[in-house]
Amino acid sequence: MTFSTTKSVAMSPDDDAPSFDINSSRRLMSHSEVESRGNGYEVLQQAGTVRILLSRPERGNALSLSLAKDLTQLFQTFSSQHSVHRIVLTGKGKYFCSGMDLGEELYEDATERCLALQDLFGAIDACPKTTVAAINGPAFGGGVGLAFVCDIRVAVSTSFFCLSEVKLGLCPATVSRFIIREWGVSLARMAMLTARKIHPQALQEMGVLHAVALDEEALKVVTENLLDDLGFAAPQASAWCKALTRKTRNGNSDHDQFARQISETMVAPGSESEYGVAQFRRGRKNIRWEQAECLHTR
């Protein structure tokens, strides 16, 4: 069986609409210098994209209690920054994230660790910015949750996902919510009960991984191409798409009312659509929203 490594994201019915193609020869974006470092992470920012790099390769990028709290603060901070449109989460070294750091005092801090993970996943899930997991290697336990709480996930072909807690007499209590939601009950239950490795090609076929790259260099190309496409997506409109998805996913009865509110707001004077539609009428089908005048006059 073969698996396609090319996925397209339809942005427009026009032939020249941007597409997400692993084989594209688009120029890779040059990354800015590291803007900040913490205990286990680095942050880089360029234009509307923030990159958060898990940088504990000697520990498999495991989530210490302090790292989980720091990541929560980062996502909460970037959620309110108008200049940030996208957040990419990736790992340094062999692993994406090997889950919670079991070298810490597991039993003394059990409640605090659980709350820290809930806060972290909640902050990512509620983030109005588009979140991308660039999965550079294997993920275990909480690291699987970290990947699949993000909006879009791309992975290297040598990665895999393992909910291995049951082997240690534990269960993925906190992350199970997101794994069940994204993988479905049957696969999530099997993965939790057997601790088997779930390979990226199978998840791509299901549509929960959005691209699989041959190696780490190809993953960089895939990620940059995706970010290039996302640069044509208006930031407020993107946030509304995420909000509507949450309403539908959670079975909210007020979804239709919320949709009506958005429909009215998105065509109000000074809105993104006022600018976007005007540019479309002038023949500009794709807008680089970081450069859009309407965003810089807010």
Rounded to 5 degrees, what angle do the CA atoms 151, 236, 14 make?
80
Residue 153 has pLDDT above 60, yes or no: yes
Amino acid identity for residue 96 in this structure: F
Number of neighbours of residue 34 by Cβ within 10 angstroms: 13
Is the model more confident about 7 or about 40?
A: 40
CATH architecture for the domain at 34-231: Alpha-Beta Complex (3.90)
Q: Write the pLDDT tens digit of every residue in 182-227.
A: 999 999 999 999 999 999 999 999 999 999 999 999 999 999 999 9
Please give the pLDDT value at position 24.
42
Nearest residue to 237 (alpha-carbon basis) of 181, 295, 178: 295
Please give the pLDDT value at position 278.
76
**Torsions phi, psi for 281 (to 5 deg):** -65, -20
Binned at pLDDT 50, 70 and 90, residue 35 comes out as confident
Six token digits for residue 184:
């479905």
Residue 157 has pLDDT above 60, yes or no: yes
How far apart are alpha carbons 81 and 248 in whole angstroms? 26
Is the model more confident about 283 or about 144?
A: 144
- Let me know: does 131 contact 155? Beta carbons within 8 Å: no
- Let me know: does 265 contact 54? Beta carbons within 8 Å: no
Six token digits for residue 270:
């000074």
Please give the pLDDT value at position 288.
80
Number of neighbours of residue 167 by Cβ within 10 angstroms: 10
What Rg do the C-alpha atoms of the chain give, in angstroms? Answer: 19
Q: What is the pTM of this model?
A: 0.83
Residues in contact with 296: Cβ distance below 8 Å, sequence separation at least 6, in sequence order? none
Q: Which residue has the tokens 């993988």?
A: 183
Residue 27 has pLDDT above 50, yes or no: no
How far apart are alpha carbons 139 and 65 in whole angstroms? 18
Residue 26 has pLDDT above 50, yes or no: no
- What does the pLDDT average to over 130-158? 98
Amino acid identity for residue 292 in this structure: A
Q: Write the pLDDT tens digit of every residue in 84-97.
A: 999 999 999 999 99
Q: Write the pLDDT tens digit of every residue in 246-256.
A: 888 766 667 67
pLDDT exceeding 90 applies to what percent of the chain? 63
Six token digits for residue 248:
């539908």
Please give the pLDDT value at position 277.
75
Please give the pLDDT value at position 33.
56
Please give the pLDDT value at position 10.
31
Please give the pLDDT value at position 49.
97
Domain ranges of the chain: 34-231, 235-291
